[in-house]
């Protein structure tokens, strides 16, 4: 059964000693959702921590400003913005697979891995659902919570540019602004400022970008060597996946990244009517209509060629 935010709030109200899990290579939505919920539950007097599989970029530090890790014996585990147990990352998967009590998510590809799930596939961000959960919990919003929700919503919509943005997205963002979300700083940190290294990485990536099918498909590659060369790292450069699709005429933008273990992953961004999650399913991945991802264990050439085949079939 798919729970609604009211039912989620009723379950959470009964629980204590809660751990909130984020997805691997945490982004603004999984972190913003986790921290908004954590702050709300702590306001109710509950003991709550959040856990990440990977290091988190320092630009997100304001999300947990003023919070300390609490000491308790964990009794209830919540996953936010996580479609499959694979996406927990290796360490968290090892520890929590099969033991997650509640999943709050907006990926239509959610595999229903948790005991209870609240899945709203039409939400632009998991943070939209978290907003309604907190409202149902009856906790009063403060500026920090509003900033957390706003971060989730703005990052998953590319600052309200992507097609997942709905009237409800703007509505909730408006309420967050009114409740004290620091939208100016968040927008600047998330969408405006880049380091010289990041710009240099973009330059090298664009130089090597290849086009196929009359420029309808663009494939860019980022290697570990390129991170080294520019002094950047993967968690700093999330936004880069949206660049290939920015090209006029491109319907499918693929950004392939080499992982530290030598395997590859790809972010796929599409324009309508092309379904990014359908493309990624051919690789065992998934996601949303216009943004999805997958991993691959073979060589870079094999990965590229398979994309050319799969995308050729849907174009
Ligand atoms: Mn999300």
Question: How many angstroms is it from 23 CA to the middle of ligand 1?
Answer: 9
Kindly report the backbone phi and psi dihedral angles of residue 20, in degrees, each rounded to the nearest multiple of 5, phi listed first: -110, 125
Residue 165, phi-psi category: left (phi > 0), alpha (psi -120 to 50), beta (remainder)? beta
Question: How many angstroms is it from 273 CA to the middle of ligand 1?
Answer: 21
Instruction: Report domain extents, the chain.
Output: 5-191, 196-314
Q: Which residues are CB-contacts of 61 (< 8 A; sequence separation ≥ 6)?
A: none
What is the CB neighbour count within 10 angstroms for residue 104?
A: 30
Question: How many angstroms is it from 11 CA to the middle of ligand 1?
Answer: 22
d(CA 281, CA 11): 33
Question: How many angstroms is it from 152 CA to the middle of ligand 1?
Answer: 7
Give whole-number Cα distances, 246 to 121, 184, 190, 199, 315, in Å: 25, 24, 18, 16, 17
The residues placing their C-beta within 5 Å of ligand 1, an ion, are 29, 81, 126, 156
Kindly report the backbone phi and psi dihedral angles of residue 21, in degrees, each rounded to the nearest multiple of 5, phi listed first: -100, 140
Question: How many angstroms is it from 182 CA to the middle of ligand 1?
Answer: 20
Question: How many angstroms is it from 238 CA to the middle of ligand 1?
Answer: 13
3-state secondary structure labels for all residues of 240-266: HHHCHHHCCCCCEEEEEEECCCCCEEE
Question: How many angstroms is it from 239 CA to the middle of ligand 1?
Answer: 14
DSSP annotation string for 58-110: GGGGGGGTT---------EEEEES-SSGGGG-HHHHHHHTT---EEEE--TT-
Topology of domain 5-191 in CATH is inorganic pyrophosphatase (n-terminal core) (3.90.1640)
The reported pLDDT for the residue numbered 88 is: 96
Question: How many angstroms is it from 126 CA to the middle of ligand 1?
Answer: 5
Q: State the CATH architecture for 196-314.
A: Roll (3.10)
Task: Give the helix ranges, DSSP H, for the chain.
Answer: 5-14, 28-43, 90-96, 126-137, 143-156, 167-178, 183-187, 196-207, 224-230, 276-281, 300-314
The reported pLDDT for the residue numbered 217 is: 98
The reported pLDDT for the residue numbered 234 is: 81
Question: How many angstroms is it from 113 CA to the middle of ligand 1?
Answer: 17
Question: How many angstroms is it from 136 CA to the middle of ligand 1?
Answer: 21
d(CA 124, CA 160): 9
**What b/e sequence results for 65-95 when a residue is b if at least 16 CB atoms lie within 10 Å of its CB, and e otherwise?**
eeeeeeeeeeebbbbbbbbbbbbbbeebbee
Question: How many angstroms is it from 94 CA to the middle of ligand 1?
Answer: 22
Question: How many angstroms is it from 229 CA to the middle of ligand 1?
Answer: 30
Question: How many angstroms is it from 75 CA to the middle of ligand 1?
Answer: 25
- For residue 34, count CB atoms less than 10 angstroms from its CB and return exposed for 0-12, middle for 13-18, buried for 19 or more: buried
> Which pLDDT tens digits describe the chain residue by residue (315 residues)?
799 999 999 999 999 999 999 999 899 999 999 999 999 999 999 999 999 999 898 899 999 999 999 999 999 999 999 999 999 999 999 999 999 999 999 999 899 999 999 999 999 999 999 999 999 999 999 999 999 999 999 999 999 999 999 999 999 999 999 999 999 999 999 999 999 999 999 999 999 999 999 999 999 999 999 999 999 988 777 789 999 999 999 999 999 999 989 999 999 999 999 999 999 999 999 888 999 999 999 999 999 999 999 999 999
Question: How many angstroms is it from 20 CA to the middle of ligand 1?
Answer: 15
Tokens 């700093």, located at residue: 236
Closest C-alpha to 38, from 10, 63, 75: 63
């Amino acid at each position: 059964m798919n729970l609604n935010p009211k039912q989620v709030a009723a379950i959470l109200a009964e629980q204590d000693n809660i751990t909130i899990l984020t997805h691997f290579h945490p982004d603004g939505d999984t972190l913003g959702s986790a921290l908004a919920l954590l702050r709300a539950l702590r306001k109710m007097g509950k003991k709550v921590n959040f856990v990440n599989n990977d290091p988190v970029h320092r630009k997100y530090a304001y999300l947990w400003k003023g919070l300390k890790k609490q000491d308790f014996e964990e009794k209830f585990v919540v996953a936010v913005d996580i479609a499959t147990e694979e996406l927990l990352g290796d360490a968290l998967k090892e520890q929590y697979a099969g033991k997650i009590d509640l999943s709050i998510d907006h990926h239509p590809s959610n595999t229903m891995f948790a005991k209870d799930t609240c899945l709203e596939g039409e939400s632009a961000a998991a943070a939209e659902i978290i907003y309604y959960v907190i409202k149902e919990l009856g906790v009063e919003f403060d500026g920090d919570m509003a900033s957390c929700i706003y971060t989730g919503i703005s990052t998953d919509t590319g600052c309200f540019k992507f097609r997942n943005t709905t009237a409800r997205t703007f509505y909730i963002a408006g309420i967050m602004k009114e409740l004290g979300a620091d939208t100016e700083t968040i927008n600047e940190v998330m969408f405006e400022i880049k380091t010289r290294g990041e710009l240099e990485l973009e330059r090298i990536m664009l130089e090597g970008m290849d086009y196929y099918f009359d420029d309808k498909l663009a494939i860019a590659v980022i290697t570990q060597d390129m991170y080294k060369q520019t002094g950047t790292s993967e968690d700093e450069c999330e936004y880069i996946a949206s660049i290939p699709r920015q090209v006029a005429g491109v319907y499918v933008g693929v950004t392939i990244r080499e992982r530290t273990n030598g395997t590859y992953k790809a972010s796929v961004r599409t324009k309508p009517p092309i379904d990014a999650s359908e493309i990624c399913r051919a690789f065992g991945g998934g996601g949303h209509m216009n943004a999805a991802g997958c991993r691959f264990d073979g060589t870079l050439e094999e990965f590229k060629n398979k994309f050319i085949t799969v995308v050729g079939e849907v174009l």
